[in-house]
Structure 1
Amino acid sequence: MSLHPFSQRPRYSQWFTAKPQTVVVQPTTWCNLDCTYCYLPFRRLKHEMSAEVSDALAESVAAFADGAHPIDIVWHGGEPLALGPRKFTALLTPFEELRRVGRVHHYVQTNATLITEAWCELLTRHEFRVGVSIDGPAALNSQRVDLRGRPAFDRIVRGIDRLRVHDIPFSVIAVVGTDGIDHPEELLDFMAGLGCRSVGFNMEEAEGINTDRQQPTPEQAETFWRRTLEWSRCHAGELEVRELEYLGEYLRMIRAGQRVDWDRRRLDPIPTVSWNGDVVLLSPELADTTDVGYGNFLAGSVLDRPLTDILGGAHRLRYVQEFLAGLEGCRAGCEFFDFCRGAQAANRYFENGSLATTETNYCRVTRQALVTALSTVAAKEKEETV
């Protein structure tokens, strides 16, 4: 698919925000863990972002970040903390004035195994929002291992303990695979006990180099979400579940007559900046993916052009055009589109081989199963009240 680029600009603007809310940054490709489901192809290579790239990126961000609409800078790897506090501080320096005046907020997604006193001081000084990757108690976290195959659970928990000692709030992302899909209550009890602000459950996906492992089925996912909804009802206020919050926001807006406002929401192009300055759009998981037909998903480099220019030409990219076609297909043919909004470009590519496609297993287990689970719970409660 290759339509005339000028005809694509209004089409792109219909779906995407002009300015990103989030910029994902890869300070290093290397990770000290070797999780069995990891999708990153270069996690054993020690590529590191240079000061030149960080300077160029900060200059780019300054062009569209303002106090009314600050940009979330999400440091994501590899394992960002593997860079070490000294090198990481050097990458943060060009952003410091932007941070002080509220034009950017820093986030980091970490496996927490490398958190030390020095890291806690750095995270506090730069007002980081911290996300920790942990899949549950030790038995359900068994896929998170180090390069020697040793369980990482105890080291992750020690890192979390240090965050708590330093009063650093954190959220959690948990990958839910075949180990955890049948144990939602155990997962939720554990997460609530960690003291995290919220938890997001990522159903294991086929993406990147992780293509051979068994994924949760829609039936398993619906049961998982149903039991999660029931747990949350019984433990109100104890733990925020990201997916339930998203569904709840949708329902509140529809019930309040704000459908127009919901429909006006646009997708974030999510520019992801690799260690060498290369930029991909739509999904961070597409970074470091080699596909000549899609130009390796490269939209440009911050060393050559500012992000404003790169985003200004997004509508010309073949993979963006195909993704727009896929979104239009979802809107035309999927009964869940009103809630789902048809995002997740990487899943379309890795599962179906084309971004112009529509439904994926990600859709079925993360969006559709959540809605059908809520319907089941509501029907059950209605029967009990009759």
Structure 2
Amino acid sequence: MDTSAPTRRTRFDERIGRSFRTVILQPTSLCNLDCGYCYLPGRKKRYEILPTVVKAAAASIAEQNAPEPVGVVWHGGEPTALPIATFKQRLLAFEDLRIGGRVEHSIQTNATLINEQWCELFRTYRFQVGVSIDGPESANVNRVDRAGRPAFTKIMRGIGVLRDHEIPFSVICVVSPETIGDPAGLMEFFAGLGCTQVGFNIEELEGVNDSRALVDTGLAETFWAGVIAAHHRFPDLRVREIDQLASYLNKARTGRKEEWSKAKHDPIPTIAWNGDLALMSPELLGIDAPEHHGFVAGNVLTESLPQILRRAHHVSYIAELLDGLDGCEQTCTFWDFCRGAHAGNRYFEHGSFTATETAHCRNTRQALVTAFAATTISPAAINPKEK
């Protein structure tokens, strides 16, 4: 027996934090849209987050007592499908923490239900708002309601309400095989939309979205080259992925690369309406996977988040993920920047967390780096605000 081999506990502590910077809460399982690429299995059912669950989540944040505020993200199904009066009541559990600077709220929404009352709530509780929209009208063919009707007009109406109330918002854009060929058009649209930042999620196999065609990696590289070129024309529009690459390059240039390479993965505890908890990938929540007990690492009604994280190295899929991360470090030339594919991508593409390369690796990490390396634009031109 090799007693010198690192234990699972040691390997976990080298790669994953026992504390959390972000908590994702599911205010309701229901979504009023039925997007073609949606990964959520229960989006047609209305389950609302229990008052005891938000109180337990708030108590867990208080117990952790982190030096920096914890981001509480209200996400999936559609958060604004929860009646606004109920949403306000659930927020009260966090109010002392928010006033004390220990919690910051954010919401990811399809914007179709936003009205003046929601804007008042966002302003009162200082929400950071993210909107899901895939570009101009022709790019939103997959974003439809339950009757198959396009949602674009309703999304734009909600964005208009945000702008009228001067509520800043970022955007997440799902880039599908239908839109991968027009990076310049997407960038021009978002530059004119008034968002503070755009993040491009190149479509992947996740959750119940398990049969659509994947984007070709060569097209992904061309896409990122187009985004980089367009960013030079629209420097005020921040792009999440370019910001990440610029941050890495800046640290490497200034002798601070270890700050990046030694940073631990946030466990991203994601809490369902009933208190069940998934770790490392929000897309795992609610997935039927008997071999991993449905990816339920615990329940906040019976254990606090710090307690669950203290024993997280015993969770079966986390143990597999540690093997996968080891494999990435040993075999991938992009490891220094990427530091390992998202947990959910490994499982949904390969059926195991020990897998290494995924479509996310190829299309969002490797293709981005390769496209950047082929350009003559300096890192400073890509993100002049990065210091």
- 1:291 — aligned with what? 289
For residue 72 of structure 1, give the secondary structure of its aligned residue in structure 2.
strand
For residue 175 of structure 1, give the secondary structure of its aligned residue in structure 2.
strand
Give CA deviations for 1:111-164 in whole Å, capped at 9, x if unaligned: 000001111101110000000000000000111000111111011011011111
For residue 377 of structure 1, give the secondary structure of its aligned residue in structure 2.
coil
- 2:312 — aligned with what? 314
AA aligned to 1:293 is: E
* TM-score computed with the length of structure 1 as normaliser: 0.95
- 1:384 — aligned with what? none
- Contact map agreement 1:53 1:276 (CA 8 A) in 2: yes
- 1:279 — aligned with what? 277
Deviation at 1:294, TM superposition (A): 1.0
Deviation at 1:234, TM superposition (A): 2.5
| Cα separation, 2, equivalents of 1:296 and 1:12 | 21
Write the mapping of 1:1-386 to structure 2, written as runs, cut at 5 A. 7-66=7-66, 68-236=67-235, 238-378=236-376
| Cα separation, 1, equivalents of 2:243 and 2:65 | 27
Deviation at 1:73, TM superposition (A): 0.3
Deviation at 1:354, TM superposition (A): 0.1
- Contact map agreement 1:206 1:350 (CA 8 A) in 2: yes
- Contact map agreement 1:203 1:366 (CA 8 A) in 2: yes
| Cα separation, 1, equivalents of 2:43 and 2:179 | 25
Q: Runs of 5+ in structure 1 lacking a partner?
A: 1-5, 381-386
- Contact map agreement 1:297 1:319 (CA 8 A) in 2: yes
| Cα separation, 1, equivalents of 2:334 and 2:243 | 17
Give CA deviations for 1:17-64 in whole Å, capped at 9, x if unaligned: 221110010011000000010010000000111111111111111111
For residue 63 of structure 1, give the secondary structure of its aligned residue in structure 2.
helix
AA aligned to 1:274 is: A
Cα RMSD after superposing both structures: 1.3
For residue 378 of structure 1, give the secondary structure of its aligned residue in structure 2.
coil
| Cα separation, 2, equivalents of 1:331 and 1:56 | 36
For residue 209 of structure 2, give the secondary structure of its aligned residue in structure 1.
coil
- Contact map agreement 2:341 2:356 (CA 8 A) in 1: no
- Contact map agreement 1:65 1:104 (CA 8 A) in 2: no
- Contact map agreement 1:74 1:107 (CA 8 A) in 2: yes
| Cα separation, 1, equivalents of 2:124 and 2:53 | 23
| Cα separation, 1, equivalents of 2:205 and 2:106 | 25
- Contact map agreement 2:341 2:361 (CA 8 A) in 1: no
AA aligned to 2:41 is: P
| Cα separation, 2, equivalents of 1:317 and 1:344 | 17
| Cα separation, 2, equivalents of 1:159 and 1:260 | 42
% of aligned pairs identical? 49
- Contact map agreement 1:24 1:272 (CA 8 A) in 2: yes
Deviation at 1:254, TM superposition (A): 0.3
- Contact map agreement 1:65 1:71 (CA 8 A) in 2: no
AA aligned to 1:115 is: I
AA aligned to 2:31 is: C
AA aligned to 2:168 is: P
Deviation at 1:262, TM superposition (A): 1.7
Deviation at 1:379, TM superposition (A): 9.4
- Contact map agreement 1:323 1:345 (CA 8 A) in 2: yes
| Cα separation, 2, equivalents of 1:312 and 1:27 | 26
Give CA deviations for 1:201-231 in whole Å, capped at 9, x if unaligned: 0000101110111121110000000011111
- Contact map agreement 2:27 2:79 (CA 8 A) in 1: yes
| Cα separation, 1, equivalents of 2:57 and 2:210 | 32
AA aligned to 2:276 is: D
AA aligned to 1:114 is: L
For residue 36 of structure 1, give the secondary structure of its aligned residue in structure 2.
coil
